[in-house]
Amino acid sequence: MGFLATYIMRGRWQAIIATIGLAFLSLFMPPVSIVSSAAVGLVTLRLGAYEGLTVFGISILTLGTLGMLVGNVEFALLYGVVLWLPIWVLAILLRAGRRLALALESAVLFGGVGIISFHLYKPDAVEMWKGLLMKMSPPNAALDIQPQMELIAHYMTGIIAAGTVFGWIFALFMARWWQAQLYNPNGFRSEYLALSTSSRLALGSLGLVGVAMISSGSLVELAWNLSILAFVLYTFVGTSVLHSLLAPLKQGRYLVIGFYMTVFLIPHLLIPVAMIGVADAWLNLRQKFKIK
């Protein structure tokens, strides 16, 4: 996809055309939304906050105009804001702080603020999610899956927030990877393989899980939904740790590919991966098992 990054960096209007075009395509192919966000991220990382804001601003106005023509301007504006504003902010933080971990932690923090805000705005969110899930289920299977739907409803806010944050982080990764391809070969790889968090943050995340396990009422739901976001962060850290440990081994390239394919096909393995990410905050696993 290097050709797309090259096109985006040719000029402001090329970046705007790519951003809007990919956003329109994402209405039919949702994963493409990540690429559209990455376009704004690349411009911001390379040229700064003002240029990124210019691309974002013109794109959102264009999207709003198109929405007006089809009679749904509110959806168009909201879609653009959710798609581009977070990545613009995260790219500014990464450009200024030069720490990939800080950008990821900020993305999780934004998601956490969203969960808390939604929890305060919609105290009966569980009933709302339950109703939506039952409507989405096949009519003849509604009674059979009702217990599962009731269970999932308690965590839907966190699941949706986690999916959103995953999208932001992947878009930021793509933008940083594009930037490295164009201007700093292997720059993203070294950043990604060094990804880690502080022991204080890891301890706070474990404390959040502890609160979820011992609390009751609405607090338990809030704590578990926030814990899902912490899981997102440490999944990325854990994959970084394992990637860095597998890569130097004999046939390391194939081991790394096999590792990513395995966690993609068996998502449950992300739980021990996240636990490795948490443990790394104290054990510094890369140094402990470094091949000399």
Q: Which residue shows structure tokens 């081994």?
A: 249
DSSP-derived 3-state class of residue 28: coil
Q: Cα separations (Å) of 239 from 138, 176, 195, 199, 210?
A: 36, 17, 9, 18, 24
- Positive or negative torsion for Cα 143, 144, 146, 149: negative
The two tokens of residue 87 are: 């990545």
Q: Where are the chain's structural domains?
A: 1-182, 195-292
Q: What is the mean pLDDT of residues 88-110?
A: 93
Structure confidence by residue, pLDDT tens digits, 248-260: 888 888 999 999 9
Measured distance CA(291)–CA(103) in Å, rounded? 29
Q: Mean pLDDT for the chain?
A: 89
Helices (H) and strands (E) in the chain, counts: 15, 0
Q: How far apart are CA 183 and CA 189, in angstroms?
A: 13
- The C-alpha atoms of residue 103 and residue 168 are separated, in whole angstroms, by 10
DSSP annotation of 139 reads G
Q: How confident is the model at residue 140 (pLDDT cuts 50, 70, 90)?
A: low
Give the span between the Cα atoms of 214 and 236, in whole angstroms: 27
The predicted model scores a pTM of 0.90
Position 122 scores a pLDDT of 83
Q: What is the pLDDT of residues 234-244, one digit of tens each?
A: 999 999 999 99
Tokens of 72: 């749904």
Q: Is the pLDDT of residue 146 over 80?
A: no
CA dist., res. 203 & res. 210, Å (int):
10
Q: Which residue has the higher pLDDT, 289 or 140?
A: 289
- Would you state the pLDDT for residue 291? 57
- Spatial contact of 83 and 36, defined as CB atoms under 8 Å apart: yes
Model pLDDT for residues 182-218, shown as the tens digit of each residue: 998 888 999 999 999 888 889 999 999 898 888 777 7
Q: What is the pLDDT of residues 166-178, one digit of tens each?
A: 999 999 999 999 9
Pair of tokens at residue 134: 């039952």
